[in-house]
């Protein structure tokens, strides 16, 4: 099965101010994820970040290189992060098999040549969410189980943003070049994520929303702090956040999302907070 991809180019904040709803969704929304028996990728020109998915069913799926990389193998100059949001599956990296249960992760270092995805059950397949960034050094491939993550409790019911943040692929858990990935789950009764909002000019970010009920939605806010825009998100959709943009959302029910970052700084706390009463 061919690895499919599309390209998104970077946009300036001045241009985005003039976008209508359709154009905002065209530029920043990723809505073709978690398609059975397919690998779909979006290659962005924000830090050359790639976001995508692989859902193997009756047969395995091989991660193929894409034209934009100009390389023989996908990981010749890249690293890869994988989080399974489906049922049990395997990722085989150059002959080594890693079993990933629901909400377990795998970091794959630069230079590995063959990456294949498979599901234990075709009826209840694994659903692999993928993030990839350029890499300058080869670090070891490492599985990150639920017991390996760093967990932080954030927010409060009083401000409708009580949530659990789990750091999966960060430099305090696994050696990486620049990729960072984690998962945040909103607690019942709360709705807001990443509030107070912030920007980080040295890193871009992608949010992947999942565990959103089919009849519910998440309203994702982006844009400059004083010139915000919104995108309505459904289950298994992702959104690209430029370095100059806030990235925050509020759902009509409980939900989870995976955050992935790339840039020149691995300090998770590198962010400029925006005062809530100054957002526009």
For tokens 């050696």, the residue is 175
| Centroid of chain to Cα 246 | 16
Handedness of CA 166, 217, 80, 102 (dihedral sign): positive
Residue 62's contacts (CB-CB under 8 Å, 6 or more residues apart) are 1, 3, 114, 115, 116, 117
Q: Does residue 223 contact residue 246 with C-beta atoms inside 8 Å?
A: yes
First to last CA, the chain: 45
To the question of whether residue 200 is assigned a binding role by annotation, the answer is yes
Tell me whether residue 205 is annotated as binding. Answer: yes
- Fill in the DSSP letter of residue 55: B
Neighbouring-strand partners of residue 139? none
Provide CB contacts within 8 A for 169, sequence distance 6+.
81, 105, 107, 144, 176, 179, 180, 181, 182
* Residue 45 counted as an annotated binding residue: no
Whole-angstrom distance, CA of residue 256 vs CA of residue 249: 11
Cβ neighbours of residue 95 closer than 8 Å, sequence gap 6 or more: 114
Radius of gyration of the chain (CA): 18
72 among annotated binding-site residues: no
Q: Is 133 helix (H, G, I), strand (E, B) or coil?
A: strand
- Known binding residues for Zn(2+): 198, 200, 205, 247
Annotated binding site: 198, 200, 205, 247
């Amino acid at each position: 099965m061919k690895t499919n991809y599309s390209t998104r180019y970077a946009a300036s904040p001045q241009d985005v101010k003039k976008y209508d709803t359709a154009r905002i969704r065209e530029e920043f929304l990723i809505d073709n994820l978690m398609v059975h028996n397919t690998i779909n990728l979006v290659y962005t020109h924000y830090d050359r970040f790639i976001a995508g998915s692989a859902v193997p069913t009756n047969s395995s799926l091989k991660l193929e290189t894409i034209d934009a990389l100009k390389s023989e193998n996908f990981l010749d100059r890249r690293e890869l992060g994988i989080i399974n949001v489906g049922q049990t599956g395997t990722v085989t990296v150059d002959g080594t098999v890693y079993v990933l249960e629901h909400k377990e992760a795998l970091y794959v270092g630069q230079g590995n040549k063959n990456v294949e995805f498979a599901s234990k059950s075709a009826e209840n397949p694994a659903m692999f969410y993928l993030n990839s960034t350029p890499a300058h050094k080869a670090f070891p491939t490492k599985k990150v189980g639920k017991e390996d993550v760093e967990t932080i409790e954030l927010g409060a019911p009083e401000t409708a943003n009580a949530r659990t943040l789990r750091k999966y692929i960060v430099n305090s858990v696994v050696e990486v070049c620049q990729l960072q990935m984690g998962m945040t789950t909103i607690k019942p009764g709360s709705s807001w994520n990443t509030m107070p909002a912030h920007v980080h000019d040295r890193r871009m970010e992608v949010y992947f929303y999942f565990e959103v009920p089919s009849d519910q939605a998440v309203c994702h806010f982006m844009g400059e702090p004083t010139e915000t825009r919104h995108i309505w998100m459904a289950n298994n959709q992702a959104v690209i956040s430029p370095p100059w943009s806030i990235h925050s959302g509020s759902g009509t029910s409980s939900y989870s999302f995976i955050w992935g970052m790339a840039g020149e700084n691995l300090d998770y706390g590198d962010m400029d907070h925006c005062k809530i009463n100054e957002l526009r």
